[in-house]
Chain A
Amino acid sequence: MTVLLALGTAKGLFLARSDDDRKSWDVSGPHFPMTGVYGVCIDKRRAVPRLLAGVTSSHFGPSVAYSDDLGATWQEPDHPPVAFPQDTGTALERVWQLATDPAGNPDRVYAGTQPSALFVSDDGGVTFELVRSLWDHPHRPQWAAGFGGQAIHTILPHPDDPSSLVVAMSTGGVYHSADGGASWKPGNSGIQATFMPDRFPEFGQCVHKVSRDAGDPDRLYAQNHHGVYRSDDGGVRWESIAEGLPSDFGFTIVAHPRRPDVVYNFPLAADAMRFPPDARCRVYRSQDAGKSWEALSDGLPAEPFYPAVLRDAMCADDADPAGVYFGTRSGEVYASRDEGDSWSQVATHLPDVLCVRAAEV
């Protein structure tokens, strides 16, 4: 089994490859040195998986590059792959998310951007067009920027229904479409906005990440800016599943790729204390859709641990048993080849890890 682990960092993309069932890893890179790689996607709908990377140079701006040889070479079109139309008067700042559509067009790829917008590609991620319906949404002028900027960082196409799509943004909240992206409704009922006078607004929440359950496509998990939630109706209403976690703050949440009701989280102490609770490096796993949580630390650092794990810096692969991965702002990367029971270090001393994605290739 060969597994590819893509590590997007603040200063480029690193690729880790394991040919021995994830026991050892060879790390190469940086690709795109001195760019922030906020979004990476491994598109396995092709004979040879296509890698897509959203890269941003502080000098030369943002772009999306792709590789059809697992990262040996990269291509970009002459013209910007993601760009706002002239009439918007807006310039792309960053691509935060790249996601494939599992149910519809096999060449469809979505991009979530800063400022908050959704783009769609029907040529495998080479060129993208703005999804006007969301850009023209009447709520958009009221979407605000969090510390990381105003961005759509989560795109969840439905696994079976190409007309159903969920996106999430900071700040703005969760929006969903049931008509292939022609129209959008907010879906934030029950999600608290601790930084607003109205604690439960229709929209405006600072959702940090949303992940979809493996068994029930209508079951979603959300890590909010304070608050961990589950929705059982496709992201319309949400209920807290934070009980049992040491904190309801954090950035990332990842559902298991195959096992229903299994979800992973990396809590941080609080908004004003963005360290792992008690300075202990622990992943939390629920195997009952958030009713209870267990701390996982076998193989993780035992000494005081202060780095955070950002919203896209945790993922699972599609192997069996599933691998689970996370990278830290201190440039350490850990992997579990047994669904979280035990962990080992893949890399250390990298730049800040912004995103990770892994797949059997």
Chain B
Amino acid sequence: MAVTVLVPSTLRGEVGGVKSLSVDASGTLGIVLDELGRQWPRLERRVRDERGALRRYMNVYIDGVDCRSIGGSDAPVPGDAELHLLPSVAGG
């Protein structure tokens, strides 16, 4: 099993244009994003800063649930989960 990461269109240029990635890691969101960073560092650094904190206007949904409501980086991620990376509403 692997976690599926859905990549928003604005970030697909960082991963060769694909819409989704398969990441062989699970446990917590932090663990999955660490592995994402090893494979796709340019994608991961758009999602988290150098402290590992989720960027303010980036949301990650774990099987449809906002990660911030279930622990943020510590949110549980099952091995077959779907992570949806979604920029939030920001800017002017």
Residues of chain A at the chain B interface (Cβ within 8 Å): 34, 57-61, 63, 76, 78-80, 83-84, 86, 89-92
Q: Is B11 an interface residue (CB 8 A)?
A: yes
10 examples of A-B residue contacts, CB within 8 angstroms = A57-B46, A58-B56, A59-B55, A59-B57, A60-B46, A60-B55, A60-B87, A61-B46, A89-B51, A90-B51
Contact between chains at B51 and A60 (CB < 8 Å): no
With a 10 A CB-CB cut-off, give which of A76, A89, A91 has the most chain B CB atoms: A91
Known contacts being A58-B57, A60-B11, A60-B58, is A76 close to B42, with CB within 8 Å? yes
With a 10 A CB-CB cut-off, give which of A58, A63, A89, A90 has the most chain B CB atoms: A58
From DSSP, what is the main secondary structure of chain A's interface residues?
Answer: loop
For residue B42, which residues in chain A have a CB less than 8 angstroms away from its CB?
76, 78
Residues of chain B at the chain A interface (Cβ within 8 Å): 10-11, 41-42, 45-47, 49-51, 53, 55-58, 87-88, 90-91
For residue B90, which residues in chain A have a CB less than 8 angstroms away from its CB?
58-59
Those 10 A-B pairs whose CB atoms lie nearest each other, nearest first: A60-B46, A91-B49, A83-B50, A59-B87, A78-B41, A59-B57, A58-B90, A91-B51, A58-B91, A80-B45
Within the complex, what minimum Cβ distance (angstroms) separates B92 from chain A? Answer: 9
Give which listed residue, A34, A57, A78, A91, contacts B50 with CB less than 8 A. Answer: A91
Give which listed residue, B41, B53, B87, contacts A91 with CB less than 8 A. Answer: B53
For residue B49, which residues in chain A have a CB less than 8 angstroms away from its CB?
61, 91-92
For residue B10, which residues in chain A have a CB less than 8 angstroms away from its CB?
59-60
Give which listed residue, B50, B87, B91, contacts A84 with CB less than 8 A. Answer: B50
With a 10 A CB-CB cut-off, give which of A57, A60, A90 has the most chain B CB atoms: A60
Within the complex, what minimum Cβ distance (angstroms) separates B91 from chain A? Answer: 5
- Having A34-B91, A58-B57, A59-B10, one finds 10 other A-B pairs with CB under 8 Å, namely A58-B91, A59-B87, A59-B88, A60-B47, A63-B45, A80-B45, A86-B50, A89-B51, A91-B53, A92-B49
For residue A84, which residues in chain B have a CB less than 8 angstroms away from its CB?
50-51
- A91 to B48, alpha carbons, bound, how many Å? 10
Within the complex, what minimum Cβ distance (angstroms) separates A213 from chain B? Answer: 38
Within the complex, what minimum Cβ distance (angstroms) separates A36 from chain B? Answer: 10
Within the complex, what minimum Cβ distance (angstroms) separates B65 from chain A? Answer: 20
Within the complex, what minimum Cβ distance (angstroms) separates B42 from chain A? Answer: 5
